[in-house]
């Protein structure tokens, strides 16, 4: 077995590239590049190849010592052919990532999505280590999830299984970016909480969150946390509402999939313990008694590195 793999987490605003030890899962070195301004296929590919080259040089690692390059992208992907079908945030469509990256490095290249790589990271070295039957739910800008059965991620017929953010929780509800109405994501994500708080502020409600907000910048999970610490009524009410919906979604997972463990991660879960604790309490209360009596909850353990670590091990499922 070769000693290292490269893991790449290609997000909407940044790409994180890491050299990972295949035995320990340790990130030996990493480099982060912003993708906000220089988008488009050429720029994105160049940022990834530059990053890999920088890492190999910095760590004095030869290409021969690398087993593979794994990439997880936020967007629609074609795993089999290594194609990024659509990533509006990166202005990339039908981009054959595998072909470009492998022609640069002459190494096997594997493509997955962002939720998938974070889940593999948690399964190999994080909160789900040693468990082969669990569901990961990540709450941030959106709500994503992945189902793991017998140590393998369930992809479904079109590779899109686990889209819990788009289960419908209100038939006549809020519009969702996917085009439907009443999706969980429109109620339980950080963006949904942000929209609720901003809507109330515009109507003249007061909140201490104003002390942390700068004009033109978006609300962060840590601002939400600081406001809760100060017992802010408005922020608490909006977080409670999101928690109510998310717990309904999680109760549905418990009843429908009956996993041993649910790992919750993402910015909002990591920063706001109040949200995490309330959500799991409510989810247990809303699910059927038998699966609820056995379900275990854990917070994701690898933070920002879960994606690159998981991406470095994408090959394990494919070789």
Assign residue 266 a region: left if phi > 0, alpha if psi is -120 to 50, beta otherwise? left
Quote the least distance from Cβ 185 to Zn ion, whole Å. 6
Quote the least distance from Cβ 184 to Zn ion, whole Å. 8
Is residue 44 a contact residue for Zn ion (CB under 5 A)? no
The strands making up 134-139's β-sheet, listed across from edge to edge, are 152-153, 143-149, 134-139, 261-265, 296-299
C-beta of 159 vs 303, nearer to Zn ion:
159
Quote the least distance from Cβ 174 to Zn ion, whole Å. 10
C-beta of 155 vs 181, nearer to Zn ion:
181
Which range, of 17-25, 170-178, 224-232, 271-279, touches Zn ion by CB under 5 A? 170-178
Is residue 168 a contact residue for Zn ion (CB under 5 A)? no
Quote the least distance from Cβ 258 to Zn ion, whole Å. 24
Quote the least distance from Cβ 189 to Zn ion, whole Å. 11
Is residue 166 a contact residue for Zn ion (CB under 5 A)? yes
Is residue 192 a contact residue for Zn ion (CB under 5 A)? no
Which range, of 120-128, 130-138, 159-167, 246-254, touches Zn ion by CB under 5 A? 159-167
C-beta of 16 vs 268, nearer to Zn ion:
268
Quote the least distance from Cβ 234 to Zn ion, whole Å. 26
Is residue 176 a contact residue for Zn ion (CB under 5 A)? yes
232 to each of 219, 239, 266, how far by Cα in Å?
A: 15, 11, 23
Is residue 188 a contact residue for Zn ion (CB under 5 A)? no
C-beta of 178 vs 210, nearer to Zn ion:
178
Sequential DSSP letters for the chain = --SEEEEEEE-SSEEEEEEEETTT--EEEEEEEE-SSS-SHHHHHHHHHHHHHHHHHHTT--GGGEEEEEEEESSEEETTTTEEEEEGGGTEEEEEHHHHHHHHH-S-EEEEEHHHHHHHHHHHHSTTTT-SSEEEEEESSSEEEEEEETTEE---TTS-TT-GGGSBS-TT--B-TTS-BSBTHHHHSHHHHHHHHHHHHHTT---GGGGT--TTSPP-HHHHHHHHHTT-HHHHHHHHHHHHHHHHHHHHHHHHH--SEEEEESHHHHH-HHHHHHHHHHHHHHS-HHHHHH-EEEE-SSGGGHHHHHHHTGGGGT-
Quote the least distance from Cβ 240 to Zn ion, whole Å. 22
- Of positions 136, 183, 253, 272, contacts Zn ion by CB under 5 A: 183
C-beta of 123 vs 188, nearer to Zn ion:
188
Is residue 178 a contact residue for Zn ion (CB under 5 A)? yes
Quote the least distance from Cβ 130 to Zn ion, whole Å. 33
C-beta of 180 vs 288, nearer to Zn ion:
180
C-beta of 8 vs 183, nearer to Zn ion:
183
Task: Give the binding-site size for Zn ion (rule: CB under 5 A).
Answer: 5
Binding site for Zn ion (CB under 5 A): 166, 176, 178, 180, 183
């Amino acid at each position: 077995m070769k000693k290292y793999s490269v893991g790449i987490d290609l997000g909407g605003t940044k790409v994180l590239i890491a050299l990972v030890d295949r035995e320990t899962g340790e990130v030996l070195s990493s480099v982060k590049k912003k993708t906000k301004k220089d988008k488009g296929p050429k720029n994105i590919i160049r940022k990834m190849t530059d990053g890999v080259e920088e890492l190999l040089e910095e760590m004095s690692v030869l290409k021969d010592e690398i087993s593979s390059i794994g990439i997880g992208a936020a967007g629609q992907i074609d795993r089999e052919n290594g194609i990024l079908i659509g990533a509006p945030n990166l202005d990339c469509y039908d981009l054959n990532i595998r072909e470009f990256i492998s022609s640069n490095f002459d190494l096997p290249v594997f493509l997955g999505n962002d939720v998938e790589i974070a889940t593999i990271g948690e399964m190999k070295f994080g909160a789900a280590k040693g468990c082969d039957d669990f569901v990961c739910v990540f709450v941030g800008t959106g709500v994503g999830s992945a189902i793991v059965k017998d140590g393998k991620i369930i992809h479904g017929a079109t590779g899109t299984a686990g889209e819990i953010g788009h289960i419908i929780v209100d038939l006549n509800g809020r519009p969702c970016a996917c085009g439907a109405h009443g999706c969980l994501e429109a109620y339980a994500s950080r963006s949904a909480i942000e929209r609720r708080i901003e809507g109330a502020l515009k109507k003249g409600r007061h909140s201490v969150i104003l002390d942390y907000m700068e004009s033109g910048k978006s609300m962060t999970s840590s601002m939400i946390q600081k406001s809760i610490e100060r017992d802010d009524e408005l922020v608490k009410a909006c977080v409670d509402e999101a928690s109510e919906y998310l717990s309904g979604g999680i109760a549905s997972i418990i009843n429908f999939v009956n996993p041993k463990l649910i790992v919750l991660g993402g910015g909002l879960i990591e920063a706001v313990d109040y949200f995490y604790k309330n959500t799991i309490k409510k989810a247990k209360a809303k699910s059927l008694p038998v699966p609820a009596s056995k379900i275990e909850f854990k917070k994701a353990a690898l933070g920002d590195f879960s994606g690159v670590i998981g991406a470095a091990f994408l090959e394990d499922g494919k070789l």
